[in-house]
Structure 1
Amino acid sequence: MTKQTWNATQYALNGRFVADLAGGVIDLLDARPGEHILDLGCGDGALTAKIAASGAQVKGVDSSESMVAAARAVGIDAQVMDADALDFDHEFDAVFSNAALHWMRNQDTVLAGVHRALKPGGRFVAEMGGHGNIAAIQVALLAVFSKNGIDPARIEQNYFPTPASYESRLRHHGFDIHYIELLPRPTPLPESGMSGWLQTFRSGIFQQLPEAERESALKETVELLKPFLCDDLGKWTADYVRLRFLAVAL
């Protein structure tokens, strides 16, 4: 498995829809004035700022220096920190995470750290990629990169669990599950289409290829997906499926 890298400017152009579609999980968080909330995988702080507007005191952490710099530039209290190295001790009323958990490789370490960061009775509210997320995109990438001699184990970067499997994992780490649901969400992409999506969210995979071969591999992946995810007007829709949950630390 290769490591994904992030560029805050590129993400703002091609990935802003991720934050724009997070209204449901923000509502589920129901942040209250005076609460202390940790935004895990805060990115460029777009949602951190929305949470802070409730009157809550919000801290953001992210593993990407580029993203944290962008969040700080708009006044967010953010720091670079790996999700599997959380060092908080019963400090937060809630931990929030959107579109970040599925990038985290050491799930059990992450969940243990989240539980430790929460006060007893604290809320863990998150949305992540769920079972079946970007299935067509994954199959197309597998076809292209396997042909180029890349081990399939190095192609997939994410963890997309079923509700039952993630509920079991959460319970193992001391959470009571109040709500968990798989939500199909076909997602229209911006003008950059599938090419922009792949260059933003799968840059780490393409970097495994020699530089001279990356452009042709990108074009081949886009062409494989075009009959299934692009309409007659040239508009692309990604085959997203999200897993949303509310868990409480016991």
Structure 2
Amino acid sequence: MPEGHTLHRLARLHRRRFAGAPVAVSSPQGRFADSAAVVDGGVLRRASAWGKHLFHHYGDGAVGGRVVHVHLGLYGTFTEWARPTDAHLPEPVGQVRMRMVGADYGADLRGPTVCELIDESQVVDVVARLGPDPLRTDADASRAWMRIAKSRRPIGALLMDQTVIAGVGNVYRSELLFRHGIDPYRTGRGVVEAEFAAAWADLVALMKIGLRRGKIVVVRPEHDHGPPSYLPGRPRTYVYRRAGEPCRVCAGAIRTSVLEGRNVFWCPACQT
């Protein structure tokens, strides 16, 4: 599943490609056709992201302004293409839920969990259900800390709970806990405030790198050796998807288990 930095990169890209001008919006697949017709030809005012949610804001920004809300889920993806100089647009490939066409570029959305038309008041409702987003300048880390400090749930589960912190996925969850020596099964109440503050600052820095570079970078230079990434083109990690392999720091075996329905990875020697 794309993590928060991916959605912020998409919001930034769509602002550059489409904002400030009319956008042709359609649904070749047909599932979004009625809603697409409402915003088709409208001016995209801005694109924004909060956690794993992407918002395309059309109209004048009033409470009733139209907003396309997208959550990519596990399989959603945007494919961008340059608009041809002639009048012939490329034929949609696969099940394209939404197609956006601007003056110079087009983008096709396939496989999202959510693609819906809402208004600005409903955006407020969506955001109200989410925790602070480390990539937003208005993020209030204390909101997350208050939830974590009172919880008996494992910290590894709390970090993946989008109502606690928005935008963290399995890679950042596992890698952040390793970088700070915290066992994923330690309860939220067992994490001290100084540990949380250091982890939050590190998370902000790591996600900013992901936003800037378009890929997750979590391994420190002094540990960037040993076995390669778990798959070609994937990030080199300390623990994520490295079960049974030697830890890059202590050489002990990396472990994995299922925590609240998702695989978690950790080093028992380095994380206490």
Using the size of structure 1 for normalisation, the TM-score is 0.26
Q: Which has the higher contact order (CA 8 A, sep 6+)?
A: 1
Greater Cα radius of gyration, structure 1 or 2 = 2
Using the size of structure 2 for normalisation, the TM-score is 0.24
The structure with more helix, counted as a fraction of residues:
1
